[in-house]
Amino acid sequence: MKEERLLILKLLKDGKITEEEAEKLLSALEEKKDRPTFKSAKQKFNESLGSAEETFQEKQKAFKKDFEENFEELEDRFENYGEDFSKKMNRLGGLIAHTSTSVADKILRSVEEALESQEFQQYDVFSKRETFHETLEVPISDLTNYRVLVSSVNGKVKVESWEKDCIKLKAKIQMNAENYQEECLIYEAHVDEEGLELSPRIEKGFYSFLTLYLPKVLFDSLKVVNRNGSVFIEDFEGKHLDVQTQNGAIQLHKSTIKDLGKLKTKNSKILLHRVHGEELILQTKNGKILCENLDAKTLDFKTSLGNIGIDELSYERLERLHIQTTNGNIKVFDPLPEDYGIRILAQTKNGSIEIGPELVLIEDQQDRNNIRINGRSKDLEEMEHTIDVQAYTTNGDIILF
């Protein structure tokens, strides 16, 4: 099914099918995935596509052959893949900008699923490589003000807590056996008075899955720098969190950021769940931002070609909410408490704006292509708590509170 999605994207990019046909194909594949049996899914698929089925299967075979040939060539230049893919996604972004929001969302969701699949990540590119395992364990006596930096390339990074009083890195590495030297590990640990740095001694020619285990204490800062892979962090507590990657998703779960949390990626999504923080800055490109159960003082979210959704938002400490995207919808699902007020500036093109609280409008511009609302809550001066809200999008709707 993932190969079928990739084929649809390629056919649309090459102009061999229209946006309407692409939407039907993607919808048919979703139906196929959701139906309990293959027989019923196949019937639904045929009903949606009609005579296009035979043509689709022929295109699929041709694309699979081309896909395999491309990955065989990738053996000798895997380190350049991320940059090439990023350029392709930028071109795809330009294409999506001229499609409807529903089509754009389905295309990006298909790309996300393909990128995250094990089949895609370990396709023939690793057929001539072997798997090696490495473990680094660093005992630390005083972790209260400790800084940790972990960097990687071409693979996934996972960070989780454990009960031991040391930091441990487990690495699963795939690379050419001739280039791997057991006496000289790929990942190294550098320790000084300020903290610990875990990083590879080479930057090319390998793919890795990293798991970093951290003691359950308050860290000064954790910085994760990755390239061409996702980052997943769970049960972290620290003053500062800085995550940077590309061509991979960022997920933050059950964590507390005392001061500043900055999460940045591109060509993928950012997901937050049960996060407590002071200031959270999220930035991606060609991907969505979805957050659930947030408690923070400042939220600053920015993406392009993707939806932004916030659910179970705690308003008790929130003072600033800034959200910006293009070709996507913005939704904050939770209603604003009665004794909370807002100052708001919201703007969209080719969309609509819905705001729950009744506003005193300073500016209300509504024409055929542009809607802009600038206002504040009634009796704002008497409110116990006020929030500064800014929301911007194009080709999408804004629904707040």
193-241 pLDDT per residue, tens: 778 999 999 888 888 999 999 998 888 999 999 988 899 999 999 999 9
Tell me the C-alpha distance between 260 and 241, whole Å: 6
Q: Residue 257: pLDDT above 60?
A: yes
Helix axes 81-96, 101-116, angle to 10 degrees: 160
For residue 276, give both structure tokens: 């407590």
Instruction: State the maximum Cα–Cα separation within the chain, in Å, rounded to a whole number.
Output: 73
The pLDDT of residue 89: 52
The more confident residue out of 18 and 43 is: 18
Residue from 33, 41, 31 nearest 1 by CA: 33
The three-class DSSP label of residue 322 is strand
Q: pTM above the 0.85 mark? A: no
Q: Could you tell me where the DSSP H helices lie in 275-351? A: none
The pLDDT of residue 47: 47
pLDDT band at 123 (very low <50, low <70, confident <90, very high): very low
Tell me the C-alpha distance between 378 and 341, whole Å: 8
Mention every residue, 6+ apart, whose C-beta is less than 8 A from residue 131: 172, 173, 174
pLDDT in tens, 161-183: 999 988 999 999 988 888 887 66
Estimate to the nearest angstrom the gap between the alpha carbon of 388 and the chain centroid. 26
Quick count: other Cβ atoms within 10 Å of Cβ 361?
11
Tell me the C-alpha distance between 271 and 250, whole Å: 6
Backbone angles phi, psi at 265, to 5 degrees: -145, -175
First to last CA, the chain: 38
Q: Residue 3: pLDDT above 50?
A: yes
Q: Residue 52: pLDDT above 60?
A: no
CA of 132: how far to CAs of 123, 173, 179, 230, in Å?
18, 5, 12, 20
Q: Residue 61: pLDDT above 90?
A: no
Q: Residue 113: pLDDT above 90?
A: no
CA of 370: how far to CAs of 97, 98, 350, 365, 393, in Å?
17, 17, 6, 7, 10
Show me where the domains of the chain are located. 2-124, 128-229, 249-401
pLDDT band at 139 (very low <50, low <70, confident <90, very high): confident
Strand partners, 250: 231, 270
Pairing of strands 340-349, 298-302: unpaired
pLDDT band at 130 (very low <50, low <70, confident <90, very high): confident
Estimate to the nearest angstrom the gap between the alpha carbon of 172 and the chain centroid. 23
Q: Residue 375: pLDDT above 60?
A: yes
Backbone angles phi, psi at 284, to 5 degrees: -145, 180
Q: Residue 356: pLDDT above 70?
A: yes
Q: What angle do CA 348, 93, 275 make, to 5 degrees?
A: 70
Cβ atoms 199, 187 nearer than 8 A: yes
pLDDT in tens, 288-343: 999 999 999 999 999 988 899 999 999 999 999 999 998 889 999 999 998 899 99
The pLDDT of residue 114: 54
CA torsion angle for 330, 228, 272, 195 (degrees, to 10)? Answer: -140
